[in-house]
Amino acid sequence: MATYKDTKGREWHLSLDPLSMEYIRDELHVDLFDPWESADIFAKFLDNWDAFGRAVWHLIESQAGSMSVDQDAWKSGLSGDVMFAAQEAFKRARADFIPNKQQRETWIKAMALGAEGMEELAEVVMEKMDTSGLVKRSIDSAISSLESAGLARPD
């Protein structure tokens, strides 16, 4: 069973079944029944706090009730790290629903590659941002040097 802990130390268990997957499909418009067809939609869904949060709450609502935790109290235990842990638990719960072991392992690897790809993309973007800043500083420095030398700035 896939689990995550919130900032209050409460452990939440996520498990998907056909009824919960129907809820997610019908209410949140994310079809989890075919893991391959909806990979890009699944990734966007995980990053959409509103939809993803509603799905997680649907999955843990009965647990929360038995712990006397209402939805607001549950939300108060969330943070960026907790949401990441919940996303990972949700991926695991989704993988657990794939009946064929080889397909399940392939899906898990595909999800991991997708996460690595996002990390690589973030690194490239950060490098580009730094390079752009470096270029701007270099141009500003060159213009300043020209102006200091008494040369007019071109219009």
Q: Over the chain, what is the mean pLDDT?
A: 82
- Asked if pLDDT for residue 5 goes beyond 90, the answer is yes
**In the prediction, which pLDDT does 6 show?**
96
- pLDDT at residue number 102: 87
**Residue 121 confidence (pLDDT):** 46
The answer to whether residue 123 is domain-embedded is no
Distance CA 71, CA 92 (A): 23
Domain assignment of residue 16, yes or no: yes
DSSP annotation of 84: H
Q: Residue 108 pLDDT more than 90?
A: no
Residues 6 or more apart whose CB falls under 8 angstroms from that of 42 comprise 30, 32, 35, 94
The residue among 30 and 34 whose pLDDT is bigger is 30
Q: Is the pLDDT of residue 78 over 80?
A: yes
Number of domains into which the chain is organized: 1
* Within-domain flag for 120: no
**How large a percentage of the chain has pLDDT more than 90?**
50
Angle (deg, nearest 10), helices 101-148 and 80-96: 150
Q: Residue 12 belongs to what domain range?
A: 2-97
Specify the pLDDT at position 37: 62
Whether residue 122 lies inside any domain: the answer is no
Question: Within a domain: residue 103?
Answer: no
Q: Is the pLDDT of residue 147 over 60?
A: yes
In a domain, 140, yes or no: no
| DSSP state for residue 9 in the 8-state scheme | S
In a domain, 141, yes or no: no
pTM more than 0.75 = no
Chain mean position to CA 102: 25
**Mean pLDDT score, 132-153:** 64
The answer to whether position 46 is within a domain reads yes
| Residue bearing the bigger pLDDT, 36 or 48 | 48
